A and B are shown apart, each in its own frame.
Chain A
């Protein structure tokens, strides 16, 4: 029982990182853009998010307070992610470059920028970039008062998490509401399904694609920042962050492009990624647990294509660029 609880709470910690990455990519893919640059975007988010908090503290010194640092970190990561995916959008939407190749290029570029900024900060600040303990605490502490967390079972599972987890859940619900209940969300889905039909219906395809991809990139980038300020303990750590972006892409498939699924999906993925430390399943070497998320994703991908169930397919125009004159 105890193991299960620690597994779930640890799964949530890592899952929160994934949730941002995935939610951002869902929004992007809903518009028909397959942005394989998430890995790079999350690197950039991590580096710039950390930089945001660090330079804020450096500027105001001891006067730095947690909430402001959190907001600044989120903003810095979000803007960095938006900028990165703006490059992708301009290339694929306006200049009509191949989405796969452009996404991979963004991955290379983004990991480079993230790494560069992370290293540069370290070099400039004399070898070590660290936040004060009070800020670290602000990032990693639970938002609920202590006695909530101490409630047996329910406490650690529901109340012990950082603010980022609860924000991610709100974001997932908001995105679900946006996609399924609002006109604009419905139009976005239509754009991703059939740009030609949407164009004929008078929807501004280009605007939807740009906005969804750029904002989606921004959201994904927050995930990278969350990793750095929580799991990595406010220190630039590119090794831990490597592969997270790809996992987020996998999770999008696992969630069959639905934001609400991302909530539990990311917790499961998060748990699978750290399970090797906590649980032993007979006959399966613990180190192999790390591939479970990908194996599960492949199975989901195969089953949905075999059953050809129309509700669970990728957006129909995913990966394809749209040119009006080819109608």
Chain B
């Protein structure tokens, strides 16, 4: 029988084990490839890629104000990626972080606008913090409830919830909460409703870097550690991992799958809501319908590329923030459209997503397979 003619030219074999160093090498290679591909739009727009990349790096990291802004972009990305991680671990595809941020921001804004003169500064911030958690949590709980009860498709449901949330804020913006009539804007927050800024001093060798950011940065960094502990060291984290692997095993072990789904989604939504609070109270000092600004979506890719590891999320979210901030500087200095950052981000996501394939599978070419068999 002519078996060999039937063998396809390339065959796939699942790798059982890969040297971690080699996996890391593949990942780094994928980033390099993305950066090389990213030169295409630069060349099209008539910019020297080397110059452009150096502007991106300089314009995002090497000056204090730039770094501050870069970190400001990274904070919500990181926070939201942390929120999404437990859902994805459970294989619950929550793509509604965008809406959960918006609702959290909206709830916080209510207190910022109408309670700032009734309670002390700290109490106000605490109230804003709490309602943002509850608001975001409940917004996420709705699709989770229908998933648990009737197995309603959560991807589509959470997606729709985003635009409902954004629409509600758009209405508030032009209606009940509008500041100056006809402005279509919600007024800026009173100082009492703003998160204080902090100076962080980081010493690296002889150099000292200082970084100014709202206190949210501290909270988010603490959250990184907490989320790592939650996912890896707690009973609830264990339940999430078991459900993500096999719902049947979870039932066998006596877990109430529906309740766990709802609880996890509440937590996830609450964290996203918290991110919304940080954004309005620490960065924008006001609310508008685009408050989430696509962070909810980008954060999904951050979470996924980090393989749901909270510490890796710091690196990835910083990387994307550098691109975004750097591209802004690029626009002002070299008149390259800032949207180039989205293009490079997109390419980076594509190559990093693809590289997992080459980490998990080995390609066996026909000729080589025959040799291996002989050996």
Q: Let me know if A193 is at the binding interface, CB within 8 A.
A: no
Q: List 30 A-B contacts (CB under 8 A).
A: A87-B350, A91-B353, A95-B357, A101-B304, A102-B350, A102-B353, A104-B297, A104-B298, A105-B346, A105-B353, A107-B297, A108-B294, A109-B342, A109-B343, A112-B346, A113-B343, A114-B339, A116-B342, A250-B159, A253-B160, A285-B171, A287-B175, A291-B163, A294-B163, A298-B157, A298-B164, A301-B156, A301-B160, A306-B150, A319-B155
- Give B160-199 as 1s and 0s: 1 = Cβ < 8 Å from A's Cβ atoms: 1111100110110011000000000000000000000000
Q: Chain B residues with Cβ under 8 A from A105's Cβ?
A: 301, 346, 349-350, 353
Q: Chain B residues with Cβ under 8 A from A247's Cβ?
A: 163
Q: Let me know if B146 is at the binding interface, CB within 8 A.
A: yes
Q: How far apart sit A110 and B41, CA to CA, in the bound complex (Å)?
A: 13
Q: How far apart sit A120 and B45, CA to CA, in the bound complex (Å)?
A: 7
Q: Chain B residues with Cβ under 8 A from A110's Cβ?
A: 346
Q: How many residues of A contact B (CB 8 A)?
A: 51
- Evaluate contact between B161 and A298: CB separation under 8 angstroms: yes
Q: Let me know if B337 is at the binding interface, CB within 8 A.
A: yes
- Evaluate contact between A246 and B163: CB separation under 8 angstroms: yes
Among the listed B95, B157, B340, B347, which residue makes an inter-chain contact with A100, where contact means beta carbons less than 8 Å apart?
A: B95
20 new A-B contacts, CB < 8 A, other than A108-B342, A250-B163, A314-B153, are A95-B357, A101-B304, A108-B349, A109-B342, A109-B350, A111-B342, A112-B339, A112-B344, A112-B345, A115-B339, A116-B339, A120-B44, A123-B335, A290-B167, A291-B163, A297-B156, A298-B164, A301-B156, A305-B152, A306-B150
Q: Let me know if A96 is at the binding interface, CB within 8 A.
A: yes
Q: Chain B residues with Cβ under 8 A from A113's Cβ?
A: 41, 339, 342-343, 346
Closest to B294 in A: A108
Please give the distance in Å from A167's CB to the nearest CB on chain B.
Answer: 28
Q: How far apart sit A107 and B300, CA to CA, in the bound complex (Å)?
A: 12
Q: Chain A residues with Cβ under 8 A from B294's Cβ?
A: 108
Closest to B173 in A: A287
Q: Let me know if A288 is at the binding interface, CB within 8 A.
A: yes
Q: Chain A residues with Cβ under 8 A from B161's Cβ?
A: 294, 298
Q: Which residues of B contact A (CB under 8 A)?
A: 41, 44-45, 93, 95, 146, 150-153, 155-157, 159-164, 167-168, 170-171, 174-175, 294, 297-298, 300-301, 304, 335, 337, 339-347, 349-350, 353-354, 356-357
Among the listed A34, A250, A291, which residue makes an inter-chain contact with B168, where contact means beta carbons less than 8 Å apart?
A: A291
Q: Let me know if A179 is at the binding interface, CB within 8 A.
A: no
- Evaluate contact between A100 and B155: CB separation under 8 angstroms: yes
Closest to B344 in A: A112
Among the listed B153, B339, B353, B354, which residue makes an inter-chain contact with A119, where contact means beta carbons less than 8 Å apart?
A: B339
Q: Chain A residues with Cβ under 8 A from B157's Cβ?
A: 298, 301-302
Q: Let me know if A261 is at the binding interface, CB within 8 A.
A: no
- Evaluate contact between B337 and A302: CB separation under 8 angstroms: no
Closest to A239 in B: B290
- Evaluate contact between B160 and A97: CB separation under 8 angstroms: no
Q: Chain B residues with Cβ under 8 A from A91's Cβ?
A: 350, 353-354
Q: How far apart sit A302 and B154, CA to CA, in the bound complex (Å)?
A: 10
Please give the distance in Å from B7's CB to the nearest CB on chain A.
Answer: 15
Q: Chain A residues with Cβ under 8 A from B298's Cβ?
A: 104, 108
Among the listed B93, B304, B337, B346, which residue makes an inter-chain contact with A120, where contact means beta carbons less than 8 Å apart?
A: B337
Q: How far apart sit A101 and B342, CA to CA, in the bound complex (Å)?
A: 15
Closest to A37 in B: B346
- Evaluate contact between B155 and A305: CB separation under 8 angstroms: no
Do A109 and B339 form a contact, CB below 8 Å, given A246-B159, A294-B163? no
- Give A271-310 as 1s and 0s: 1 = Cβ < 8 Å from B's Cβ atoms: 0000000000000010110110011011001100110100
- Evaluate contact between B346 and A108: CB separation under 8 angstroms: yes
- Evaluate contact between A112 and B164: CB separation under 8 angstroms: no
Q: How far apart sit A91 and B342, CA to CA, in the bound complex (Å)?
A: 18
